[in-house]
Structure 1
């Protein structure tokens, strides 16, 4: 079964068909093909945390419902696990490989989970506290994950939704400010320099999880450092989420013009999707940055700018 990631604009294009606003043309032909392919288990379109947040942001209830219904139909309520959950598995395996230990094989498609809540760290089964873990499992046992997602998007309290979106917007704005500050410090620097600087910052920000993981495996940080700088650089490239984030961020920060919250969401989507998808369909600029970094060849993922590339792909 193929795993395909769609950025939010592509979901909106398909929702136009589902809502009846688009009745002819390539999208009108494509949408029923995808629905049938999902039902035949030929393809699945899991949601990212960015997809979920962007859908929740839509203030018009009918528009939000149409997008959510489209996502529920094609994702079946499955989502990419939280960043922390993926990182924990990736980092553990990467450290073991540095010490010559073969990591325990993970189940196929372990990076996806039923229930949109698992896109968020507190409710990800890989990270959740026991009480939250029980809550997630109870909800999934009582309600189909797709129905649970749709219920959340359609029936959630509007005041709470708006407060949550306001908090999200503030957080994204603050992140853009930090990125712009770094861009100013590294003005006229090469992409390679930016990549190394961002990598160093990423390790600093994730030092706690690195130390915890090393200790849990029975090693010390000094033993890891003793492997040398080359091993440490290889470790970063062997943690897919961090590697894609560094590559995308270095190129994002080198672009001209002001950055926006959407640029940050694109970066989050790509470090979520690229390592675990067979195909990513997204906007031109983000796809171009990923191709410049050769992430498609590294992770064996097809990168597309248009939904029309899926036309007839899963027919028959």
Structure 2
């Protein structure tokens, strides 16, 4: 079964078909083909944190309902796992690699999981507390993940919704500010130099995770230091979520135009999906950045900009 990522704008195009607003054209054709392919188990289109939060922000109940219905049908209520869970698993194998040890073998699609809640660290069964992980498992055993998503989206607690948006916006704003600061510092630098500098920053920001995973696999920070600076470069390249972030962030830094919070949300979605999706349909700007960084080749991911591009693929 293939994994497909759809940008939020593509979900909105499909929702317009669901609403009966669009009755012909590429989105109409894709709507029918994707529903059939999902029903027959050929493909699934999991959601990301960005999808969940962007959809929940839609204040018009009718409009939100159409988006939710399409998303729940094509995702089956599955999501790309939380950032923390992905990074820890990826770090474990990256550390095994630099110590020339055999990696841990995981299921092919381990990075996607049932229940929209698992897109958030708090309820991701790989990293949640025992209590919260038990809650997630209990819900998944007794409530269909599609139903969980629909019920949450159409009957949300407003305060909880606002809190989630505020936290996500703060994280995005902080990353955006950091990129803007680095633009001035790295003006005129090559992409390779920018990447190495950003990789070093990512390593510093995640050193607590690194130390924890070193302990898990029976090594120490001192042992890693003995491998030299290039080991850190190799390590970041072998942690897909961080490697994609470094590749995209450095190219965003090199652009001359102003950046928007949406750019950060798109980047975060790509960090979650490029390493684990077979195909991605998204906006031209980020597809172009990903191609420049050759991320499609690195992760064998098909990159597309229109629903037309995947017409007939899943027949």
- Normalised to the residue count of structure 1, the TM-score between the two structures is 0.96
Residue 219 of structure 1 corresponds to which residue in structure 2?
Answer: 219
Q: Does 1:99 align with 2:99?
A: yes
User: Which structure 1 residue ranges, 4+ long, deviate > 6 Å from structure 2?
Assistant: none
**227-236 vs 272-281, greater mean Cα deviation:** 227-236
Between the aligned partners of 1:101 and 1:163, the Cα distance in structure 2 is 42
Per the alignment, residue 120 of structure 1 pairs with 120
Quote the residue 2:199 is aligned against.
Answer: 199
Please list, as runs of the form range in 1=range in 2, the aligned pairs for 1:51-62 lying within 5 A after superposition: 51-62=51-62
Whether 1:309 aligns to 2:271 is no
Q: 1:159 Cα deviation (Å)?
A: 4.4
Residue in 2 aligned with 1:17?
17
CA drift at 1:64: 1.2
What is the CA–CA distance in structure 2 between the aligned matches of 1:65 and 1:166, rounded to whole Å?
A: 22
Alignment of 1:133-152 (within 5 A): 133-152=133-152
TM-score by length of 2: 0.97
- Determine the C-alpha separation between the residues in 2 that align with 1:288 and 1:104: 33
Matches within 5 A, 1:237-316: 237-315=237-315
Structure 2 gaps, min length 5: none
Partner of 1:86: 86
Q: Which residue of 1 aligns with 2:130?
A: 130
**Structure 1 CA distance for aligned equivalents of residues 278 and 93 of structure 2:** 21
Secondary structure in 2 aligned to 1:179?
Answer: helix
Q: Structure 1 stretches of 5 or more lacking a match?
A: none
Kindly tell me the number of residue pairs found equivalent between the two proteins: 315
Shift of 1:197: 1.3
> Partners of 1:132 and 1:272 in 2: how far apart?
22
CA distance in 1, matches of 2:83, 2:93: 16
Distance 2:250 2:113 in 1: 30
1: CA distance between counterparts of 2:57 and 2:169? 9
Partner SS for 1:280: strand
When the two chains are superposed, the root-mean-square deviation of aligned CA atoms in Å is 1.3
1:280 CA drift (Å): 0.8
Deviation, 1:167, is 4.2
Separation in 2, partners of 1:188, 1:269: 28
Question: 2:46 — aligned with what?
Answer: 46
In structure 2, how many angstroms separate the alpha carbons of the residues matched to 1:252 and 1:171?
17
